[in-house]
Amino acid sequence: MNSFNSSEFSRSTCEIITNPTQMVELETEWNNLWLKAKGSFYQSFSVAYHSWKEIAEPAGRSLFCIVIRDQGAMVLVFPMVRYRKGPLLMIRPLGPNAAETTDMLVDPDVDWQATVTQAWRTIEHASKADIIHMPFIKVGSTLDQLIQHSRNIERDADIAPFANLQDQTDWATYERIIGANSRQQLNRKRKRLSELGEFKFIEVDPVADPKYALELIDWMFTHKQVWADRVGKHGDWISSQGYRNFLYRWITDPRNIQGMRLYTIQIDKMPIAMKLAAYGVSHLDLIIAGFHSDPQYAKYSPGFVLDEYWMKIVFEKRLNVDFGAGNEPYKLFWSRNLKNDLANYHIPHTIAGATATHLWRLKRRVETHLAERRKHHDAPAAA
């Protein structure tokens, strides 16, 4: 563990924790800060701990967890990992690496700008990384503004839709905002599904029923793999045993400060759609979704039908919903097109990092150009 103190940040101390045992000792303080800051799922101790145990440590990565204290009290925590990618030393946030947003967990009562700045400068000066990878940063945030001051950076854009439900008075009013045509479509799809067999909505607490929760997770991955093979999309996390192990351990951990829920609709006791969510203090985070791979169900949009059931539950709790990164139509529908813009950064920090980044960008441009040429070449033949 390294400690830093400077006159610019004289009230605070910054520690870099590299020993996982010392990170575990922070659990109580971390949880208290998470509650006070109304943190998101990716900022919780449980996500960091299980990401380390099931993904980062088995992959041989090293811990780089930043902790800032103000007069002894934890006011910021930001866990990261360092790892080798060929000859390059990389650093990125510690997490499941499944497109979760990145942000530091900060006490809302401190000087946010100064505290985040201190943490970012620590990453720049002490990580010794060739490339700093900061995925899915909220555009306009303090962290985003600091990164923008870095030289020679490009960013890939994305969005994270969110539903602001706390300003709604009742579900009927919210449905009217959504629109009559959409409600009619939803009712028709639900009716068609119910005609296929015994239709049922089920809510599962993974801690109370871990065996059934894991069966549902296995079902989800099975059908995601079928879908990925069919459309030719193979994300690393779909086939990653480490990511599966992370989900298994995380959602069934009785010490988890978050309330986890699996929501599913079933026909004749067979799942046809499932979504995993994590409850926080002020909002619910949608983590992952899965649907039956049989096209006979897809035409009735079972995920869309499922959304109405769990959205009502969240609505009654007066919580907002963070749908996570991605522009899927159902996210934009339920969020009424409210969203945060996101940026995905690879920041070169050494000559080796800048050279590798330049070559990577050049390779991507060439691949994009060749793909466009193939598209134009194939178009006349198809016609």
Average pLDDT over residues 341-370: 88
CA proximity to 320, closest of 336, 304, 344, 341: 336
- What's the confidence (pLDDT) of residue 383? 47
Percent of the chain with pLDDT over 70: 93
pLDDT tens digits, 146-157? 998 876 677 889
Across 233-246, average pLDDT: 80
Kindly write down the DSSP assignment for every residue of 10-25, as one continuous string. TTEEEEEE--HHHHHT
DSSP-assigned states of every residue in 256-276: -SSEEEEEEEEETTEEEEEEE
Give mean pLDDT, residues 50-59: 98
Tokens 């949608």 belong to which residue? 286
**373 — pLDDT class (breaks 50, 70, 90):** confident
Q: Do 104 and 112 form a contact (C-beta atoms < 8 A)?
A: no
Mean pLDDT (whole number) for 48-70: 98
Beta carbons within 8 Å of 198's beta carbon, 6+ residues apart: 267, 268, 269
pLDDT for residue 174 is more than 90? no
Residue range 210-227, pLDDT digits in tens: 999 999 999 999 988 887
* Res 181 pLDDT > 80: no
Per the DSSP assignment, residues forming a β-bridge with 339 are: 161
pLDDT of the residue at 363: 86
Mean pLDDT confidence for 27-46: 98
**Percent residues over pLDDT 90 in the chain:** 71
What is the predicted pLDDT for the residue at 6? 45
Measured on CA atoms in the order 213, 216, 218, 220, is the torsion positive or negative? negative
Q: What pLDDT is stored for residue 235 in this prediction?
A: 65
Please indicate whether residue 15 or residue 365 has the higher confidence score (pLDDT).
15
**Average pLDDT over every residue of 4-13:** 60
Rg for the chain (alpha carbons), in Å? 22
- Residue 10, CA distances (Å) to 2, 75, 86, 267, 347 in order: 17, 14, 39, 62, 28
Most confident range (mean pLDDT) of 176-185, 233-242, 347-356 is 347-356
Lowest mean pLDDT among 31-45, 104-118, 251-265, 353-367: 353-367
In this predicted model, which residue has the larger pLDDT, 50 or 167?
Answer: 50
Output the pLDDT for position 224: 84
Over residues 66-86, mean pLDDT: 97
Residue 168 CA to residue 46 CA, distance in Å, equals: 31
The pLDDT of residue 371: 73
pLDDT tens, 125-168?
999 999 999 999 999 999 999 998 876 677 889 999 999 988 78
The mean pLDDT value for 79-105 works out to 96
Calpha distance 43→116 (Å, rounded): 14
